[in-house]
Amino acid sequence: MLFFQRNIKQKLILVSCVGATLFLASCAAHKPTAGRSPNKGVSVTRAPEPELEAPDVPTSAEVADGVRIPATEVETVISTARTFLGTPYRYGGTTRSGMDCSGLLLNSFKAVNVSLPRSSAAQSKIGKEIKKMNDLEPGDLVFFATGKSKVTVTHVGLVTDVKSKDNIKFIHSSSSLGVVETNLYAEYYIKRFRGARRVIKAD
């Protein structure tokens, strides 16, 4: 009789130990570990993202006398401007859904990391003045007074091609036509032409 009682006690102790082990294992399975989500078991600890260094962009003051860039980059400015041909005019716009004249130049010069002022009037005060029409080159800025004042600059364009003495093409965002290329000597524009500046110089 004593033998059977001792055997039963040993079995009860064994069952209790097994039950306790299973219970602890079960709790451990549901206890969230450090750095893991208690719901999904997915780590929420993230490695720090690498810092991105911003490109060197000249300020308005730095382009006051013109920025020297490779000749190929002058073409980059012009080709970038031409990608916007057909874009509708929108006052204050800087995107393909609509842009104004100075917004077109902002986008074009951004392609070579040159930052321009926002307005055509401010753009007319930077770079080197081109005093003679015969000295105009692709990449130069041309300015116009298209408002009520005959001296206040209200419009700007970018020279794209110098074909001859009286055939100088410039690209601009016209309030009526959007982004187009026009001959500087077209009657409307030559009458309102107020000067030119060289913001970039080809090496």
Does the pTM of the predicted model rise above 0.85?
Answer: no
Please give the Cα distance from 50 to 167 (Å, whole number): 51
The predicted structure's pLDDT at residue 190: 97
Which residues, in sequence order, are bridge partners of residue 161?
Answer: 169
The residues of the chain scoring below 50 in pLDDT are 1-6, 8-9, 11-61
Q: Which pLDDT score, from 0 to 100, does residue 67 have?
A: 82
Q: What top-level class would CATH report for the domain 64-202?
A: alpha beta
pLDDT at site 28: 33
> Is 155 a known active-site residue?
yes
- Most distant CA atoms of the chain, gap in Å: 127
| 27 has catalytic annotation | no
What pLDDT score does 69 carry?
83
Our answer to whether residue 101 is catalytic in this structure is: yes
Catalytic entry in 17, 27, 30, 172 = 172
Q: b or e along 170-186 (b: 16 or more beta carbons within 10 Å of the residue's beta carbon)?
A: bbbbbeeebbbebebee
Q: Where are the domains of the chain?
A: 64-202
